[in-house]
Amino acid sequence: MFEVIHIPAFKDNYIWLLRQGMHAVVVDPGDARPVLNLLGRQGWSLSGILITHHHADHQGGIASLKQRYPVQVYGPACEPIHGLDRPLRGGETVRIDPLGLSLQVIAVPGHTLGHLAYYGAGCLFCGDTLFGGGCGRLFEGSVEQMADSLTRLAALPADTAVYCAHEYTEANLRFALAVEPGNRQLQHRVDEVAVTRAKGLPTIPSTMAIEKATNPFLRCTEPEVVASARLHRPEAFDEVTVFAALREWKNHF
- Which residues are designated catalytic? 53, 55, 57-58, 111, 128, 166
Binding to Fe ion (CB under 5 A) within 165-184 occurs at none
Q: Which is nearer to Zn ion, 121 or 143 (CB)?
A: 143
Residues written for the chain: 253
CB of 193 to Zn ion, least distance (A): 22
Q: Which is nearer to Fe ion, 57 or 79 (CB)?
A: 57
CB of 12 to Fe ion, least distance (A): 9
CB-based contacts of 227, cutoff 8 Å, min separation 6: none
C-alpha span between 153 and 155 (Å, rounded): 5
Binding to Fe ion (CB under 5 A) within 35-64 occurs at 57
Q: Which is nearer to Fe ion, 82 or 232 (CB)?
A: 82
Q: Which is nearer to Zn ion, 19 or 55 (CB)?
A: 55
By a kind-dependent CB cut-off of 5 to 8 A, residue 79 interacts, out of Fe ion, Zn ion, none, with: none
Instruction: Provide DSSP, 146-161.
Output: HHHHHHHHHTS-TT-E
C-alpha span between 29 and 71 (Å, rounded): 13
By a kind-dependent CB cut-off of 5 to 8 A, residue 28 interacts, out of Fe ion, Zn ion, none, with: none
C-alpha span between 242 and 10 (Å, rounded): 33
Name the helix (H) or strand (E) containing 14: strand 13-20
Contact residues: Zn ion, CB under 5 A: 55, 128
Binding to Fe ion (CB under 5 A) within 108-147 occurs at 128
Residue in 179, 190, 159 with CA at minimum distance from that of residue 249: 179
CB of 209 to Fe ion, least distance (A): 24
CA separation (Å) from 177 to 33, 113, 204?
37, 29, 19
The footprint of Fe ion (CB under 5 A) covers: 57, 128
